[in-house]
């Protein structure tokens, strides 16, 4: 492959290794050792595994998060020494409203310190992460002196819109630190190639390896080109491995010159179809969504939205998978329903005209709402 890159980074790399659970200094030392033997990494982006400093050291996450600034200082020194950029996730203590819980935060670090962050959007609740971690929001690319990074962290890989929206915002490539288990390693490779192909871009993915806290990680860290070709790939062994490729950025531009499918963003919906005119239709849709395993959120509204109400709707939608806005019987008109239906955070709108007490009881049962209608100024 040519070394004439004509693009943001002269090299793309990842360091795959077995994370020592709850041992930040040892894990940082492992990374330093690999970099010391890597040769010239000037202008190279180096991706590390998810939670590389500590692993998911449940019960000790407070101490691990307190060590994060020290680890970032260590990465800054390594980035300065090797003239590269390093990216990997570590625990970050969450702020007000989420006391005792953490973000899984991907830090991008250069010679002058942290360049930007991305918080894992999709927490893997099936694996128990939801007990200690909260999701981030605002999935924007991270700017570096060499280019924009579209970021994913592990489970985020299964949600294609996260990659697509960042590429539509101008991300030059995608990165994905992970702790992906060996039992689903086939999905890992398929999804990596799909995200690269869908977005016609390079992708750098770094997985953990070996047995960590009783789970065997699958390795398979890889660098993939815009057509899904694997340029370099690690095995599944537990020893540290540097995976490195010199991308030919002309390949991406030549491929995108034919068509740019990832950039297409025409709006394909009619928002007025979110308006549910009958109790039967509304309850039927809610049952179907709940059968799918979605978390339903119901919020009552008394009139047209103000700034405070708009913020409350956004906040409510972040903690559910489907947001129903309910207007009380006689409140507002068709225009009010249409305004709420046009909001991106709202999934459905209904007015309670013609609803029976039995219908209201079903609504409360489906959404877990003690109250159906919330007036401005009241608390839920």
Residues labelled as active-site residues: 50, 120, 154
CA distances, 172 to each of 217, 249, 326 (Å): 28, 10, 42
How does 64-101 read in b/e, with b if 16+ C-beta sit within 10 Å?
Answer: bbebbeebbebbbebbeebebbbbbbbbbbbeeeeeeb
At residue 241, the 3 state secondary structure works out as strand
Residue 44 contacts residue 76 (beta carbons within 8 Å): no
Q: Which two tokens mark 3?
A: 């070394």
Q: How far apart are CA 232 and CA 245, in angstroms?
A: 6
Spatial CB neighbours of 198, under 8 Å, sequence gap ≥ 6:
160, 163, 164, 261, 262
C-alpha angle 126/132/135, rounded to 5°? 75
Structural Rg of the chain based on CA atoms: 23
The neighbour count for residue 212, using CB atoms within 10 Å, is 21
Spatial CB neighbours of 71, under 8 Å, sequence gap ≥ 6:
24, 28, 53, 90
Listed residue (30, 35, 23) closest to 78, CA to CA: 35
Spatial CB neighbours of 130, under 8 Å, sequence gap ≥ 6:
123, 124
Q: Cα torsion for 346, 104, 47, 239, to the nearest 10°?
A: -130
Q: Which two tokens mark 231?
A: 């340029």
Half-sphere exposure of 89 (CA within 13 A, CB side): 33
Q: How far apart are CA 326 and CA 348, in angstroms?
A: 9
Q: Which two tokens mark 117?
A: 């962050």
């Amino acid at each position: 492959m040519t070394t004439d890159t004509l693009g943001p980074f002269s090299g793309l790399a990842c360091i795959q290794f077995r994370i020592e659970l709850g041992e930040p200094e040892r894990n940082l030392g492992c990374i330093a050792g690999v970099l010391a033997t890597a040769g010239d990494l000037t202008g190279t982006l180096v991706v590390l595994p998810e939670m590389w400093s500590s692993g998911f050291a449940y019960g000790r996450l407070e101490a691990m998060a307190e060590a994060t600034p020290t680890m970032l200082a260590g990465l800054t020194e390594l980035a300065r020494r090797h003239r590269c950029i390093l990216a990997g996730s570590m625990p970050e203590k969450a702020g007000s409203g989420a006391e005792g819980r953490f973000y899984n935060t991907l830090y991008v670090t250069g010679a002058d310190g942290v360049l930007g962050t991305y918080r894992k959007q999709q927490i893997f609740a099936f694996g128990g992460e939801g007990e200690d971690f909260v999701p981030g929001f605002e999935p924007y690319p991270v700017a570096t002196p060499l280019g924009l990074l579209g970021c994913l962290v592990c489970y985020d890989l299964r949600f294609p819109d996260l990659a697509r929206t960042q590429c539509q915002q101008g991300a030059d490539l995608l990165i994905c630190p992970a702790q992906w288990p060996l039992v689903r390693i086939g999905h890992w490779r398929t999804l990596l190639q799909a995200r690269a192909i869908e977005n016609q871009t390079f992708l750098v993915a770094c997985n953990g390896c070996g047995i960590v806290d009783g789970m065997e990680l699958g390795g398979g860290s890889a660098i993939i080109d815009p057509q899904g070709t694997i340029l370099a790939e690690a095995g599944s062994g537990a020893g540290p491995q540097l995976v490195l490729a010199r991308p030919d950025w002309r390949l991406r531009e030549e491929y995108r010159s034919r068509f740019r499918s990832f950039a297409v963003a025409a709006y394909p919906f009619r928002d007025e179809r979110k308006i549910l005119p009958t109790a039967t239709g509304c309850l039927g849709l809610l049952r179907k969504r709940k059968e799918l395993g979605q978390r339903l959120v119901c919020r009552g509204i008394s009139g047209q939205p103000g700034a405070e109400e708009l913020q409350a709707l956004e906040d409510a939608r972040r903690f559910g998978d489907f947001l129903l806005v309910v207007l009380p019987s006689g409140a507002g008109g068709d225009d009010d329903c249409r305004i709420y239906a046009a909001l991106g955070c709202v999934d459905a709108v209904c007015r309670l005209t013609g609803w029976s007490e039995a219908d209201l009881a079903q609504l409360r049962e489906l959404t877990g709402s003690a109250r159906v209608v919330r007036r401005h100024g009241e608390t839920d």
